[in-house]
Amino acid sequence: MKGMTLIVKTITDFVAGFIVIFGAYIVLYGHLTPGGGFAGGVIVACAFILLMLAHGSDVAFSKLPEKVAHVMDSAGALAFLGIGWFGMTMGFFFMNSFGRGEMFKLFSSGMILPLNIAVAFKVGSSLFLVFSALAIFRRRSFRAMIEDELA
């Protein structure tokens, strides 16, 4: 998959980092302001999809390799489950057993902040993966290439 023109590439270089920061803000302050893991994860995925559309798949995969995205996807789901099981050791499944902290501060509300981050990792990396699979999907399969070569 090829990239776009120089103008689009330059603007993308300016903007992509800020989009990632904004997504991280939406995730981290999900328990105090509107937002949360789902919206923030999609925003971060949008930044990498913008990179892929503007620069082509090679540059996007050099920033976030496919293997790393697979690992992040599974790690997010496992972290979500693991936090639930940690609550199990204290009482019941998904018990909010971490320290509560102080109200209306960033590090408060126990397990909600780690769960938000886990959901964001899961949603963001899986959407990036599915978009990359859709975008760079080869219309011509390996078998068809060999058949053309033989013909």
Partner 1 sequence: MTVYFLCVVLLTMGLYCLVAKKNIVKKVLGIVIMDYAVNLYLIIIGYKTGGVAPIIEADMPLSTLERFVDPLPQALVLTSIVIGLGVMSLMVAMCIRLYEKHGTFDMSVISKLRG
Partner 2 sequence: MANIAPQLYALLVFMVIGSIVAIETRNLLSAVISVSAVGFALSVAFLFLGAPDIAITQLVVEVLVLIILIRGTILLDNTAVDTHRDTLAVVTSLIFFGLILGFGAMIFGSRGFPEFGQPVMRVSKVYVQTGLPATYAANIVTAVILDFRAYDTLGEATVLFTSILGALALLRREGKVSREEVVAA
Tell me which residues touch partner 2 (CB under 8 A): 26, 30-39, 42-43, 45-46, 49, 53, 73, 77, 80-81, 84, 93-94, 96, 100-104, 108-112, 115-116, 119, 122-123, 126-127, 129-131, 133-135, 137-139, 141-143, 146-147, 150
The minimum distance between CB 44 and partner 2, in angstroms, equals 10
For residue 54, the tally of other CB atoms under 10 A from its CB is 21
Q: How far is the CB of 84 from partner 2 (least distance, A)?
A: 6
Residue 81 binding partner 1, by CB under 8 A: no
Shorter beta-carbon distance to partner 1: residue 133 or 145? 133
Q: Is 67 in the site for partner 1 (CB under 8 A)?
A: no
- Nearest by Cα to 43 from 65, 63, 24, 68: 24
What per-residue string of b and e applies to 110-143 under the rule 16 or more CB within 10 Å gives b? bbbbebbbbbbbbbbbbbbbebbeeeeeeeeeee
133 binds partner 1 (CB under 8 A): yes
Q: Which of 51, 63, 41, 39 is nearest to 14 (CA)?
A: 51
